[in-house]
């Protein structure tokens, strides 16, 4: 694995905090933080159950909050940290929002769209490229999900 800037680890730990909070609310524990200029500008945690909204994934919640914070849907020069590899919907939203970089934790072999089942970010027809780096704090991110689902079985 390439050397990570220290801030990548710190921002992923912040995303893990939001994931844990989502899990405590009974949501699948996925968290996200959106960073620009070294500062967290928006956060999100999974909330589709409570909001009755199938699009209320952590990434989408963070992108929505980021758009409000910046006054624009174009989130250029941002990095999104998320504890789980994004699904197709979330990956496409990042492309449309013009996120510069995605850093994620655990891979998702059932729904991951950054290489696990497909790679939305590699589609040549899309007009924006997102730099993707996966596997950051993968064990911690994966353990949070495993514990959540084990408690429900």
Q: Which helix (H) or strand (E) holds 44?
A: strand 39-45
Q: Which of 3, 24, 27, 59 is catalytic?
A: 59
Beta strands 31-36 and 39-45 are antiparallel
User: Which one, of 38, 77, 82, 76, lies nearest residue 62 by Cα?
Assistant: 82
Q: Is 59 known to be catalytic?
A: yes
Write out the two tokens for 41: 């500008």
Beta strands 31-36 and 131-134 are unpaired
Write out the two tokens for 82: 């998320």
**Rounded distance between C-alpha atoms, residue 65 and residue 89, angstroms:** 17
Active site residues: 59
């Amino acid at each position: 694995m390439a050397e990570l800037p220290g801030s990548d680890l710190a921002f992923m730990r912040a995303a893990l905090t939001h994931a844990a909070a989502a899990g405590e609310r009974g949501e699948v524990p996925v968290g996200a933080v959106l960073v620009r200029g070294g500062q967290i500008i928006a956060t999100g945690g999974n909330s589709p159950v409570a909001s009755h909204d199938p699009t209320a994934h952590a990434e989408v919640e963070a992108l929505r909050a980021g758009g409000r914070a910046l006054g624009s849907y174009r989130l250029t020069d941002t990095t999104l940290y998320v504890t789980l590899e994004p699904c197709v919907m979330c990956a496409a939203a990042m492309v449309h929002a013009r996120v510069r970089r995605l850093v994620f934790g655990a891979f998702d072999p059932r729904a991951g769209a950054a290489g696990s089942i497909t790679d939305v970010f590699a589609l040549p027809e899309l007009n924006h490229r997102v730099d993707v780096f996966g596997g950051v704090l993968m064990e911690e991110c994966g353990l949070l999900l495993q514990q959540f689902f084990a408690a429900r079985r």
